[in-house]
Amino acid sequence: MSPAKKTTKPKAPADAPAEEDFDARLASLEALVAQLEDGGLGLETAIDKYQEGIGLLKSCHETLGAYKARIEELSEEAGVTLSAIEDPDGDAFE
């Protein structure tokens, strides 16, 4: 019996708190967007929230990039390409 290949989960970017996973960061970003869209914030607070949101967005993009690279690696190992896989919205991965 051959040893199972260990798969690793992409690590959160260094600037993201270790205990926050992707889903938690995405939820925080969505909450910030909702606060900004409601428009009840003062200018200083809104700018601070926007800056925080940009940091979360960058962090989420980095994590998604790491997941995409991992999927490509796994797909290559399995002999499948991402172009052959479509996402639930009907768009092909690029």
Give CA–CA dist 25/16, Å, rounded.
9
Give CA–CA dist 26/29, Å, rounded.
5
Angle between helices 43-78 and 22-38 (to 10 degrees): 150
For residues 76 and 52, is the Cβ–Cβ distance under 8 A?
no
This prediction has a pTM of: 0.60
Enter the tokens of residue 21.
């996973």
Chain position carrying tokens 């260094």: 14
What confidence category does residue 75 fall into, taking pLDDT thresholds of 50, 70 and 90?
confident
> Each residue of 1-58: pLDDT tens digit?
444 444 444 444 444 444 469 999 999 999 999 999 999 999 999 999 999 999 999 9
